[in-house]
Amino acid sequence: MHQEKAAIIKNKKITDQCWRLQLCSKNIARQAQPGQFLHVKISSNSQKPFLRRPFAVHSIEKKDEFSILYKIRGEATKLMRELKKGDKIDTIGPLGAGFQPSVNVQKYVLVAGGIGLAPLFFLTKELIDNKKEVVLIYGARTKNELLCTKELSKVKIKPLLATDDGSQGIKGNANNLLNNYLAKNKKEKIEVFAAGPRMMLKETARICKKAGVNLEVSMDEIMACGVGVCLGCAVKTKNGYKLACKDGPVFKAEDIIWE
Ligand SMILES: Cc1cc2nc3c(=O)[nH]c(=O)nc-3n(C[C@H](O)[C@H](O)[C@H](O)COP(=O)(O)OP(=O)(O)OC[C@H]3O[C@@H](n4cnc5c(N)ncnc54)[C@H](O)[C@@H]3O)c2cc1C
Ligand code: FES
């Protein structure tokens, strides 16, 4: 883990609510694993926002360049829209424990909901680079909110899509697709990885448990320190409380107590 001022290479709006921020950082680009995140201080000369914000590493472009995807939510992400080429932001990372795909699996099924695609794109690319068979299931509210469609076709992935309004893919959500997929592929040794809103992950966990397949989830907890000090990101597990920033954000779904 390193703290450094990372220079902005590009900050581009990609959908109505989402932007891609491309940064230069040797440490993060060379060391990050899929599922890990960086903790970012958006404004250096103002107290606001006071706390850092966590963002998943989305892709590694070159040896010293990487990207994050961010969705506009509140104070920090609104400020991030203003960042320009050459600006620098204070980053700490890579942080946390990422995804841990097993070696003896036939197919890796990745389930992304909305901005949950950010860490799963990185995992998709890593698995494909390692010649693994990947199925990406991806859900968003509408066609216009689907992210990275071009980038996915570049890595030769044709995701199974779901949108709430049926404007692309099936009318429904990523879990509907996962349920159907697992029902049709009972004989294959499958491992599932998911990222998205907590309610989605809870349902993904239920589906995978019923189908008897292993699932890892990236927990989207609100964080303060990001390094295991404040205890603000506690996740209730069968082995007591764990910290999303240090023990996670990726956990085995079977360990989580979903409430
Ligand atoms: C490990 C990890 C990785 C993440 N990766 C990404 C990513 O790749 N792209 C991305 O856009 N976001 C990601 N997030 C969420 C991101 O950290 C928040 O969107 C960001 O902190 C919002 O800051 P803000 O100041 O704009 O909004 P705030 O003003 O802090 O919050 C605005 C609203 O969003 C809600 N909110 C804030 N943080 C979260 C959260 N983590 N989960 C659910 N609701 C939240 C608040 O309760 C509030 O209602 C990640 C979170 C974690 C823990
Ligand atoms: S955010 Fe402080 S302990 Fe996790």
Residue located via tokens 């023990």: 247
pLDDT for position 26: 86
Q: Is residue 50 part of a domain?
A: yes
Q: Based on the domain organization, do 176 and 89 belong to the same domain? A: no
- Model confidence at 44, pLDDT cuts 50, 70, 90, reads low
Q: Based on the domain organization, do 84 and 198 belong to the same domain? A: no
pLDDT for position 89: 92
DSSP track, 22-44: EEE-HHHHHH--TT-EEEEE--S
pLDDT for position 1: 74
Q: Whose CA is nearest to atom 19 of ligand 1?
A: 73
Q: What is the mean pLDDT of residues 59-73?
A: 93
CATH of the domain at 143: 3.40.50.80
Angstrom distances, CA of residue 182 to CA of 104, 137, 195, 204? 18, 12, 18, 11
Q: Based on the domain organization, do 70 and 129 belong to the same domain? A: no
| Gap between the Cα atoms of 52 and 95, Å rounded | 13
Q: Which of 73, 95, 117 is the last residue of a domain?
A: 95
Q: Is residue 100 part of a domain?
A: no
CB distance 38 to ligand 1 below 6 Å = no
pLDDT for position 187: 86
CATH of the domain at 39: 2.40.30.10
CB distance 243 to ligand 2 below 6 Å = yes
Answer yes or no: are the C-beta atoms of 173 and 210 closer than 8 Å. Answer: no
Q: How many A from CA of 72 to the centre of ligand 1?
A: 9
Q: Which of 63, 95, 127 is the last residue of a domain?
A: 95
Q: Based on the domain organization, do 112 and 222 belong to the same domain? A: yes
Q: What is the mean pLDDT of residues 122-129?
A: 95
Q: Based on the domain organization, do 111 and 219 belong to the same domain? A: yes
Q: Based on the domain organization, do 135 and 200 belong to the same domain? A: yes
Answer yes or no: are the C-beta atoms of 122 and 100 closer than 8 Å. Answer: no
Q: Which of 95, 116, 137 is the last residue of a domain?
A: 95
- Model confidence at 259, pLDDT cuts 50, 70, 90, reads confident
Q: Is residue 121 part of a domain?
A: yes
| Gap between the Cα atoms of 40 and 51, Å rounded | 9
Express as a percent the part of the chain with pLDDT over 90: 86
Name the residue among 100, 103, 109 with its Cα closest to residue 191.
Answer: 109
- Model confidence at 233, pLDDT cuts 50, 70, 90, reads very high
Residue located via tokens 């448990």: 209
| Gap between the Cα atoms of 168 and 141, Å rounded | 10
- Model confidence at 49, pLDDT cuts 50, 70, 90, reads confident
pLDDT for position 230: 94
pLDDT for position 204: 98
Q: Based on the domain organization, do 142 and 20 belong to the same domain? A: no
In the predicted model, is pLDDT for residue 48 greater than 80? no
Q: Is residue 60 part of a domain?
A: yes
Q: Whose CA is nearest to atom 39 of ligand 1?
A: 222
Q: Based on the domain organization, do 182 and 226 belong to the same domain? A: yes
pLDDT for position 63: 81
Q: What is the mean pLDDT of residues 117-138?
A: 96
Q: What is the mean pLDDT of residues 121-146?
A: 96
Handedness of CA 197, 62, 149, 71 (dihedral sign): positive
Q: Is residue 220 part of a domain?
A: yes
- Model confidence at 156, pLDDT cuts 50, 70, 90, reads confident
In the predicted model, is pLDDT for residue 155 greater than 90? no
In the predicted model, is pLDDT for residue 46 greater than 80? no
Considering the chain, what is the average pLDDT of its residues?
A: 94
Structural domain harbouring 57: 2-95
CB distance 53 to ligand 1 below 6 Å = yes
Total structural domains within the chain: 2
Answer yes or no: are the C-beta atoms of 174 and 215 closer than 8 Å. Answer: no
Over residues 190-222, the pLDDT tens digits come to 999 999 999 999 999 999 999 999 999 999 999
Q: Based on the domain organization, do 135 and 156 belong to the same domain? A: yes
| Gap between the Cα atoms of 162 and 38, Å rounded | 29
Q: Is residue 48 part of a domain?
A: yes
Long-range contacts of 148-153 (CB under 8 A, 24+ apart): 148/14, 148/69, 148/117, 148/121, 151/59, 151/121, 152/121, 152/124
- Model confidence at 45, pLDDT cuts 50, 70, 90, reads low
Q: Whose CA is nearest to atom 29 of ligand 1?
A: 74
Q: Based on the domain organization, do 113 and 240 belong to the same domain? A: yes
| Gap between the Cα atoms of 237 and 244, Å rounded | 11
Q: Based on the domain organization, do 217 and 124 belong to the same domain? A: yes
